Chain A
Amino acid sequence: EAGVAQSPRYKIIEKRQSVAFWCNPISGHATLYWYQQILGQGPKLLIQFQNNGVVDDSQLPKDRFSAERLKGVDSTLKIQPAKLEDSAVYLCASSLGVGGGGEQYFGPGTRLTVT
């Protein structure tokens, strides 16, 4: 079974530029999560989708971050414009069930450096 795929693995941009990350969850997984992990911290949830609907985006900085999962499968996370403090690893995870619970499977992450 293929795992959660993310791309790119690494990205370096200048502040005020825009960037997009892509995630393809495990086939059949209804729930998809985007996390931000700043160096030395645990991951922080940015947004959770169930199929193509948003369940929780309370910690997403909506003035600069956006995410979509239009067909309920893969997802993109965008930052526009980027700030220095956005430097972090962006992790995507998926889980099988709807309504929470169950194991979450993580992708390898995208390491973003904003200079």
Chain B
Amino acid sequence: KNEVEQSPQNLTAQEGEFITINCSYSVGISALHWLQQHPGGGIVSLFMLSSGKKKHGRLIATINIQEKHSSLHITASHPRDSAVYICAVRSRGSQGNLIFGKGTKLSVKP
């Protein structure tokens, strides 16, 4: 079993829909990252969080440390949000190494 599991693996939505991507992990962590990867490979960091909730524009990330679960929400989705969203965790005591989920491929249709 992977240490970081994401669901769903693939997600298709209509423009304007509210989107939720989930991430569960099995190790103790010091931080959790949400990353966005567009076709072509480049990865952009969206959030780094260790507790509670963060918001940036239409993106919201939440984490529940007790339940070892995080969610990424996108409000009023747009075709430009189409990308792969990757959850990654930094295990407690690690040298900054991240353990990555396999990613959720999101496609937003106009």
Footprint of B on A, CB under 8 Å? 31, 33, 37, 40-45, 48, 50, 55-56, 89, 91, 93, 95, 97, 99-109, 111
Q: Are A99 and B95 in contact (CB-based, < 8 A)?
A: yes
A-B contact pairs, 16 of them (CB 8 A): A33-B96, A41-B103, A42-B4, A42-B88, A42-B100, A43-B86, A43-B100, A45-B98, A56-B97, A89-B41, A91-B41, A93-B43, A106-B35, A107-B42, A108-B42, A109-B41
Q: Are A104 and B98 in contact (CB-based, < 8 A)?
A: yes
Q: How far is the CB of A104 from chain B (nearest CB, A)?
A: 7
Question: Which residue on chain A has the smallest CB distance to residue B41?
Answer: A109
Q: How far is the CB of B71 from chain A (nearest CB, A)?
A: 18
B7 within 8 A of A: no
User: A42-B4, A100-B94, A103-B48 known; A109 and B42 CB under 8 Å?
Assistant: yes
Q: Which residues of A contact B90 (CB under 8 A)?
A: 100-101
